[in-house]
């Protein structure tokens, strides 16, 4: 049985996809840049550093709560209108951060901004898959998520520098400008929904979300990606106290991590387009292996730098197949809600990994134990994904029959 050339030859990615990437870039910057500005915010508002740290956890909580709420609220809207509305919320939230007169207002503004996060990536993932040929859907998701990886490589360091030079408010003004630019390019490049929007009922969407394969996919996301943050949350003390790097070397080494994120994300998308199940299992296994081996190399500076890059690559190689799996298993009108929930699952995994890493240190195992403890999580996700793939085989055959 031969394939037609149109299915074998990759098509050029549409510009509309890169409009989504710009939005993802802005969201990525506003999520992570606050980590480098906490000391300034703490001093400016006269609050303790742990209190200022609530700006990070409050944002993560807002993503988890806001993703399903915003998705249900906008379920009957055209998807382009939803994306524009979310970027408007994002922009207004960052403007409110820049103008915040006190800590409580800044925290409220951060939570408001976070409400756009999960639904933008959730709905954006659905839109991205509709902009390309069926065999390029995972790559389309990867390109959108490249905005998030580039935010970590370039946007966050620049935003931190800008905040240190011009004050932390300048960073939020700059991110608000990115939000305005994202609204402009989305309005100009993302096509309107074909025909009338598909009617969506939140009850039927929830039923789609409760399918065993979807729930297993969400669980695999929480557990698998959470393992990354067991290590990454404490990467600075691991590099300085165990590997022996100077404090000034941490930022350049994190650039290596960011480069790995970009490469792993794009490779994960390409391989998931060809073989979704094997890519999902393989990327989780690779993540577990990288972290497991990292435990043995942290005393070597050269090998540590290499493995920091490999950790970034393995971590984000899991993102396109995890997101694509949940999208496929939800199918139909429930895709946006399931996709948004999966973004919340990534954030829940971040929080879970940071907590487990802290528990590992508090119980006396030390920083060197973090990589192998973290490796246990993607191994658990691998088992979860394997069960989910086996349970979803009948639906996979039906999808293949429909595509044929």
Most confident range, picked from 98-107, 123-132, 262-271, 392-401: 98-107
Of 108-112, 282-286, 343-347, the range with the lowest mean pLDDT is 343-347
Q: What is the CATH number of the domain that holds 288?
A: 1.20.1250.20
Rounded distance between C-alpha atoms, residue 300 and residue 194, angstroms:
56
Please tell me whether residues 137 and 251 are part of one structural domain: no
Distance CA 88, CA 33 (A): 20
Average pLDDT value for the chain: 83
pLDDT of residue 7: 43
What is the per-residue pLDDT across 155-204, written as a single tens digit (0 to 9) for each? 888 888 888 889 999 999 999 999 999 999 999 998 887 555 555 555 66
Q: Which string of b and e fits 196-217 if b means at least 16 CB within 10 Å?
A: ebeebebeebeebbebebbbbb
pTM: 0.74
Q: Are 389 and 281 in contact (CB under 8 A)?
A: yes
The verdict on 122 and 250 lying in the same domain is: no
List pLDDT tens digits, range 200-256: 555 666 676 777 888 888 899 999 988 988 888 788 788 888 998 887 787 788 888
Residues 233 and 249 in one domain: yes
Containing structural domain, residue 291:
200-404
Report helix angle 301-317 to 319-330, nearest 10: 10
Residue in this structure with the two tokens 């879970």, named with its chain if needed = 352
Q: Indicate whether 257 and 180 sit together in one domain.
A: no
Q: What are 77-89's pLDDT values in tens digits?
A: 888 999 999 999 9
* Number of structural domains in the chain: 2
The answer as to whether 99 is a domain residue is yes
Token pair of 180, please?
């305005």
Band of residue 106 on the pLDDT scale cut at 50, 70, 90? very high
Q: Residue 294 has what pLDDT?
A: 93
Last residue in a domain, options 135, 169, 195: 195
What gap in Å lies between CA 110 and CA 16, rounded to an integer? 28
What does the pLDDT average to over 394-400? 40
Among the three residues 195, 225, 260, which one is the final residue of a domain in this structure? 195
Same domain, 267 and 234: yes
- The residue out of 162, 195, 228 marking a domain boundary is 195
Name which residue leads in pLDDT, 375 or 15.
375
Q: Pick the more confident residue, 110 or 334.
A: 110
What 84-88 contacts at long range (C-beta under 8 Å, 24+ apart), as own/partner pairs, is 84/183, 84/186, 84/187, 86/116, 86/119, 86/120, 86/123, 87/23, 87/26, 87/116, 87/120, 87/179, 87/182, 87/183, 87/186, 88/183
Same domain, 218 and 180: no
C-alpha–C-alpha distance, residues 300 and 328, integer Å: 42
Cα atoms in the Cβ-side hemisphere of radius 13 Å centred on 16: 18
């Amino acid at each position: 049985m031969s394939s037609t050339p149109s299915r074998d030859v990759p098509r050029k990615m549409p510009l509309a996809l890169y409009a989504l990437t710009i939005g993802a870039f802005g969201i990525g910057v506003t999520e992570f840049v606050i980590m480098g500005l906490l000391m300034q915010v703490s001093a400016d508002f006269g609050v303790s550093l742990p209190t200022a740290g609530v700006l990070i956890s409050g944002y993560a909580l807002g993503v988890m709560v806001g993703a399903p709420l915003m998705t249900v609220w906008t379920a009957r809207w055209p998807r382009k209108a939803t994306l524009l509305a979310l970027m408007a919320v994002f922009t207004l939230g960052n403007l409110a951060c820049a103008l915040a007169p006190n800590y409580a207002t800044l925290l409220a503004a951060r939570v408001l901004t976070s409400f756009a996060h999960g639904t933008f990536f959730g709905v954006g993932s659905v839109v991205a898959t509709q902009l390309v040929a069926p065999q390029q859907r995972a790559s389309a998701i990867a390109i959108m998520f490249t905005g998030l990886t580039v935010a970590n490589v370039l946007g966050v360091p620049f935003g931190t520098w800008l905040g240190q030079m011009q004050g932390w408010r300048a960073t939020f003004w700059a991110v608000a400008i990115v939000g305005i630019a994202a609204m402009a390019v989305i309005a100009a490049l993302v096509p309107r929904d074909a025909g009338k929007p598909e009617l969506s009922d939140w009850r039927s969407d929830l039923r789609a979300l409760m399918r065993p394969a979807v729930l297993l996919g969400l669980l695999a996301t929480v557990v698998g990606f959470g393992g990354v943050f067991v290590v990454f949350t404490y990467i600075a003390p691991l590099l300085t106290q165990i590997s022996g790097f100077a404090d000034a070397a941490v930022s350049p080494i994190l650039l290596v991590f960011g480069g790995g994120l970009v490469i792993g994300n794009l490779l994960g998308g390409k391989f998931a387009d060809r073989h979704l199940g094997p890519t999902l299992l393989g990327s989780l296994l690779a993540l577990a292996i990288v972290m497991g081996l990292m435990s043995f190399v942290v005393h070597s500076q050269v090998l540590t730098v290499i493995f920091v890059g490999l950790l970034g690559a393995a971590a984000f190689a899991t993102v396109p197949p995890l997101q694509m799996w949940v999208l496929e298993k939800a199918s139909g009108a429930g895709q946006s809600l399931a996709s948004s929930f999966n973004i919340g699952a990534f954030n829940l995994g971040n929080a879970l990994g940071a907590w487990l890493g802290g528990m590992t240190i508090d119980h006396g195992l030390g920083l060197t134990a973090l990589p192998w403890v973290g490796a246990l999580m993607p191994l658990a996700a691998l088992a979860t994904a394997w069960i989910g793939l086996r349970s979803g085989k009948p639906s996979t055959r039906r999808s293949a029959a429909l595509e044929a």
